[in-house]
Chain A
Amino acid sequence: MSESVVSNGPLPIGSKGHLASGWWGMLALVFTEGALFAYLFFSYFYLALHSISEWPPNGAPHLNIAIPGTIILVAASVVVWWGERGIRRGKTRQLIMGLSGAIMLGTSFLAMQAVEWHNEPFKLGSSVYSSLYFTITGTHILHVIVGLLMMGVLLLWTVLGYFGAGRHAAVSIGAIYWHFVTVVWLVVFSVIYIVPRLG
C-alpha cells in the first residue's frame, strides 16, 4: 500500500468539510466534560443514597419552569442543526438565522434558570442537597454561557463571510459543543427533577 496511495491526485488543503483536527479535538473535549458531569452525578447519587433525612429535603423540585426550559434548550439545538445544514449548501443566511435563534433561545434559558435559582427556598450552604443542586445546575449554566459565547463568535464570523459550502469546520465544531450542552441538560433534568418523583 505504498506508492499507489500517494498518487491519488491532489489532496485538499486545510479544514475541508467538517472533519478538521479541531473536530476531533472537540470530541475529546466533550468526552472529558461528559466525564466531569458523570462524576457530578456520581456524587449526587452517592450523597443521596447515604442521606439519613428526606431527599430532597423540600420534596422534588417544581417542573413549571424546568419543562419549558428543557423545550427551549432542545429548540436551541435544533435551530443550530438547521443552520449548519444550511451552510453545507452555502446558505449563509440560514446559518445566520440559526445562530441568532440559538443565542436568543439560550439567553432565555439562562433567564429562566436565574428565576428558578431565585425562587428556591434554600441557599448554597443550606444543606448537602442545596450544595449539589447549585453546583450541578451552576456547572451546566457555565457551559451554556460558554456555548453562547461560541455561538456569538461564530455568528460574527459568519456575518464577516468567512464560511461557505466548503469551509465551515468551525461551525460544525461549535455545534458539537452546543448539542452536548443540551444533552447534558437532559440528564441534569432527569436526575434533579424526574428521579426524585419516581421513588
Chain B
Amino acid sequence: MPSLRQMTRDSGYIFAGKVTGIERVADSLTADVSTVRITFQVEQGIRGVRTGQTLVIREWVGLWEQGERYRLGERVLLFLYRPSQLGLTSPVAGPLGRFTVDRNGKIDLQPDRIASLASDPAEVQLRGKTRVTRRDFARAIRRLVEE
C-alpha cells in the first residue's frame, strides 16, 4: 500500500477545494473518448496549485461511471496524479487519495487512513488524529516534500 509519502511523491496536485463545476465533455469524433471536466476552487493549495486558484481537471468518463464522482459544492482534499499524456488525472490510489473536508475546513481521517499514516515515521504530525485542519495537513505534506 502506498504511504502518504509515496502518494505525495506521485501527486501532481494536492489541494483542498470546493467543486464548482462538473461537465461531461462528449466525444466529438467517433474515435474520441468522453471525459468529465471538473472545476475546483482551491481553498488550500499544497502542491501544484495556489490557494485561490481555479483548477480544471479532466477524468476519463469510465472512471466516473465506476463511481469516482463529485457533487457540486462538495469540499474535498485531493491528491491527484500528474495529468497523463491525454490530459487525464484522478485521485492517487483511488479513494485513498481523496479526503472529505467538513464545514469547518477540517479533514476527516478515517480509521484505516490513520493506520496507514502511522506506518510512516515522517507523518508524526498526523498520527493518531481523526481530524486535522487544512493548514496542519498542508504543513505535514510540505514537510514530506522537503525531506
Does B bind A?
Answer: no
Query: B residues engaging A (CB < 8 A)?
Result: none
